Each structure stands twice: as structure tokens, then as C-alpha cells.
Amino acid sequence: MKIMRSLLLLALVSFLVVPLVQADRVPVGMIYDVDGKVEYSKNGKRWKPVRRNKLVFPGSMVRLNDGSKAKFANQVTQETTNLLASSEIKITDSGMELVSGELGSTEAAGELLAGLDKQFATTQKYTTVRRSANKPGQELIVDLGNISLSDDYPTVAWESKGSEYSYRLNVGDNSYDVAATSEKVVLQKIEPFSERSMKYSVNVLKDGKVLSESKTRRLSWLSGKKLKKFQEDVTAVKKYDTDGFMMAGVLKEHGLLVPAMQTYESFFSQNSDDDDINDLRPFMIEVYARLKLQALQEEVTETYQANL
């Protein structure tokens, strides 16, 4: 009997959590400050133009045509190398090696890519396919994440339960009536609060009747030293960020998960044809997971796993 219970438990766990092969590719650095015709290739055969700041992985190639220049930030050594016209480099596990032409000067890169390998490792834990397993009667209960807000980013988000349902967002002693939507995610701006954090919850309604109430979670409003640090990080990343990927990372690290989600979504929409785009999907998956947007997390995770 004990063996049978163990087998049933194992089967249930296997059904709910399907671990698939995880990618171990981590970018070595980034090509940025591109001027002129600069191209990259995953295998040295098919070349594509570098249109934006681009994270590069071991084995890929970068070449610069006549009159072109760019910079390579090495996250291993925390150095930046100036890449010169009519040169070609190969990305290695520790940085790069010159294939042809000449390299320019090297200088300290500061904190531009510090901890990038750890960030990639962190995102991987969110890339296991998890199948929904709501208990009977709990399908309409909204799951919420603990998130931060600010004067510039005052929006709360949760997963829609269907276009026939409306919502009531409760923040401390205040409440907001939220209309039904056909979108996958419900978004609602709230008024600033001075407390360090506030409890919040969401009721699901139909025809004015409350059908469910979520568990309470915490909202934090960035202020004081935390707001100052966030603003400093934003200023620093703006020097290098041309497409939003790094900005989304800053938003995520400061708990501003809703604007991080929106920025990542814009980035992936605009760069869907990038050869390395799948390696970056775990960042999007992490944000969906932390916001408890399970359907979107599963959808993007399946896309990620299918393209490994």
C-alpha cells in the first residue's frame, strides 16, 4: 500500500512539473555603440546586421566592415575593447579572440555587465513547464505577486479570469472597481501611498456579486534611498541601452515588475527574428512567474523549451 501511495505521488508530481532540458548558454559580453556596418553570425556562415546592443555567446562571430566601429564589453574581465573597421572576432568562453584585422584600446567597463552570469542562472529556475492544477472551486481566485510601484510606475497587474468578470482591487482601506477586459492581463493604476508597504487583494465579481477573494500580498512604493538607487541605475543603463532589454532588467531588479514585463514584451516583439532571442526568454518567464501570470508563463516557457 505504501508503495502504491508513493507511485501515485510520483505520478502526480511528474504531471504537475515537467522538467525539460535547460539551456546553459550564458552571454560572454555585449557588442554596443555600433557605428557603420557590423555583422554577427552564430556559425560563421550566415551573417546578420547588428542593429542594436547585442549580447553575444561563445562560438559566435562578429565582423566589422570598412569605416565601421563598435565596442565589446567583456562580462568576464569587466573590460571594454574598441573594435576597429575591417576586423573579425570570435567569441570565446572567456571573451574573444581576434580572427583578422586589428583591435583597438581596452578600458574598464565598470558595472555594465556585472553579475550577468548569475542573472542567467537565476532565470533558469523559472523555465520548468508547470501545468495548471487549480483545485475545484478555486478557478476564479486571483494569484498575486509582491511588487513595487513608483510615481512613474503606479500600475498593478493580475491574470484575467475571463471577459465576463470584473474586479475589485483592495489596497489598504481603499478599493478600486476594475472593469472586465478581454485582455490576458488586467492592469490598474493606483494612488500613491506613504507607508513602506501596503497589503492588497483582488475580488472577482460577476453582475456585482463577489465570487472570490485572493490572498493578500504586499505592494511597496519606491521612495527615499531605494528610489534614489533606482534612478541612479536608470541613468547608468541609459548610456548603453538602445532596445529596452537592459532597462527591463533594472526595473525587474527593483521590483517594478509590471513595467519590466511591458518593456520585455516590447523588446521580444521588436526582435523576434534575432538568432539568439530564445536564450533571453527566461528573463520574460521570470517576470511572468513573479507576477503570478501562470498562463503567460506556461505559454512562453513552452516556446522556450521547443526552441532549445
Whole-number pLDDT of residue 132: 59
What rounded mean pLDDT belongs to the chain? Answer: 89
Full-model pTM: 0.88
Q: What is the mean pLDDT of residues 87-105?
A: 97
Cβ pair 155, 258 in contact under 8 A: yes
DSSP 5-23: HHHHHHHHHHHHEE--PPP
Ranking 17-26, 38-47, 239-248 by mean pLDDT, the lowest is 17-26
Residue 127: helix, strand or coil by DSSP? coil
Cβ pair 184, 225 in contact under 8 A: no
The domain ranges of the chain are: 29-114, 125-308
Q: What is the mean pLDDT of residues 43-61?
A: 92
Cβ pair 200, 216 in contact under 8 A: yes
One-letter amino acid at 248 equals A
Higher pLDDT, 131 or 25: 25
Whole-number pLDDT of residue 195: 96
Q: Is the pLDDT of residue 20 over 60?
A: no
What topology does CATH give the domain 125-308?
Answer: Immunoglobulin-like (2.60.40)
Whole-number pLDDT of residue 2: 42
Whole-number pLDDT of residue 4: 34
Q: Could you report the per-residue pLDDT of 184-238, keeping only the tens digit for each?
A: 999 999 999 999 999 999 999 999 999 999 999 999 999 999 999 999 999 988 8
The set of residues, in sequence order, having a beta carbon less than 8 Å from that of 27 and lying 6+ positions away, is: 55, 56, 57, 75, 116, 120, 279
What percent of the chain is predicted at pLDDT more than 90? Answer: 76
The span from the CA of 182 to the CA of 162, in Å, is 7
pLDDT level of residue 239 (50, 70, 90 thresholds): confident
Whole-number pLDDT of residue 139: 92
Residue with cell 513547464: 129
Q: Could you report the per-residue pLDDT of 240-295, keeping only the tens digit for each?
A: 887 899 999 999 999 999 999 999 999 999 999 898 999 999 999 999 999 999 99
Q: Could you report the per-residue pLDDT of 111-151, keeping only the tens digit for each?
A: 667 778 888 889 999 998 666 556 666 899 999 999 999 99
